[in-house]
Amino acid sequence: MGAASQPPLTLWAVSDGRAGIEAQALGLAEAVARLRPAEVAVKRIGWRWGLGQLPAALNPGLPWTLAPGSGIAPPWPDIWIAAGRATLPLSRRMRTRSAGRTFVVQTQDPRGGLADFDLVVPPLHDGLSGPSVFPIAGAPTRLTAERLAEAAGVWAERLGPLPRPRVAAIIGGRSKAHDLPEAHARDLALRIRRAVETAGGSLLLSFTRRTPEPARRAMREVLGGLPGLIWDDRGDNPYFGFLALADAVLVTEDSTNLATDAAATGRPVHILPMAGAGSEKFRRFHADLAGRGISRPFTGSLESWSYAPLAETERSARELLRRYDAQV
């Protein structure tokens, strides 16, 4: 029986529900579903009694230790796609629990033995290798040309009349390697303001959950008078619309997800510097994007260049199905 005549695959996209983590699992699941009839279910897990704070190896991953509403119970899916440390106690046991029926996929580096997984899709800059490893540039994303076109249609009436170039600035924040103190945020905002004013354009500004409130406040104060839109976390999230309608994208250097999403647009991606020590992994990641002609460091002015939009999620989905078909 050919693939087209088989029942739809069942796919679970499993994470702790944080937007950036969920986007990786769901983005890969949606890419598989574009290639093969499939039903995608989103699973957002939590752990009782603080078990989620333990190293994954110390969490027994028992179903009754999951928080209510996690929805992890048989029948098990054909393909399990998980992202984030919180999912590892489940991912590592899924083959056993499904009696080998479920194909187990983990995005990011599971930081341990790879034998529990059928496929691991880490960022290329992690340097992970092995028979089950399929590294990609950046991270799986939900952004596609079709999704961008849809978002452009939804937001065209509100954002389309803004002066061009329309500049999307997506701001991250504090992490292990990076920080965004108020003084640094204000300096970045001044540089962004000068660039937008010099170009005669408009600004589409959005923050992430990691952006510290003092940094948000400073950037709003400096950038508030420009033509454009500063999203205030109320109403519909314009993130996809910003990326779809921007002529240039500025993203802070602290996030693989933000840069990967921006790289899916085919528009110039300017990397904004952060405070903090940084990390060798992020330096490798940004060097890779620059080497592909996707990004350049933000120098205080808006440059123009073009490249083929990054399509690593589609490439990893094809590899996932190739390996799944070989195993069934």
Q: What is the pLDDT of residues 190-233, one digit of tens each?
A: 999 999 999 999 999 999 999 999 999 999 999 999 999 999 88
Decide whether 3-137+312-327 matches 145-297 in CATH topology: yes
How far apart CA 236 and CA 212 sit, in angstroms, is 21
Q: Domain 145-297, what architecture?
A: 3-Layer(aba) Sandwich (3.40)
Entry pTM: 0.92
Domain spans, the chain: 3-137+312-327, 145-297
| pLDDT higher than threshold 80 for residue 124 | yes
| pLDDT reported for residue 5 | 66
| pLDDT reported for residue 181 | 97
Q: Which of 129, 127, 133, 171 is nearest to 279 (CA)?
A: 127
Q: Domain 3-137+312-327, what architecture?
A: 3-Layer(aba) Sandwich (3.40)
| pLDDT reported for residue 328 | 81
List pLDDT tens digits, range 279-306: 999 999 999 999 999 999 999 999 999 9
Q: Which of 53, 36, 52, 33 is nearest to 144 (CA)?
A: 33
What is the rounded (10 degree) CA torsion for 297, 299, 301, 305? -30
154-185: burial string, b at 16+ Cβ within 10 Å, e else? ebeeebeebeebbbbbbbbbbbebbbbbeebb
| pLDDT reported for residue 83 | 97
What is the band of 74 on the pLDDT scale with cuts at 50, 70, 90? Answer: very high
| pLDDT reported for residue 234 | 87
Average pLDDT of the segment spanning 157-162: 97
Average pLDDT of the segment spanning 163-187: 96
Which residue has better confidence, 66 or 60? 66
| pLDDT reported for residue 1 | 43
What is the band of 314 on the pLDDT scale with cuts at 50, 70, 90? Answer: very high
| pLDDT higher than threshold 60 for residue 323 | yes
What is the band of 56 on the pLDDT scale with cuts at 50, 70, 90? Answer: confident
Which residue has better confidence, 201 or 62? 201
Q: What is the mean pLDDT of the chain?
A: 94
| pLDDT higher than threshold 90 for residue 62 | no
| pLDDT reported for residue 146 | 95
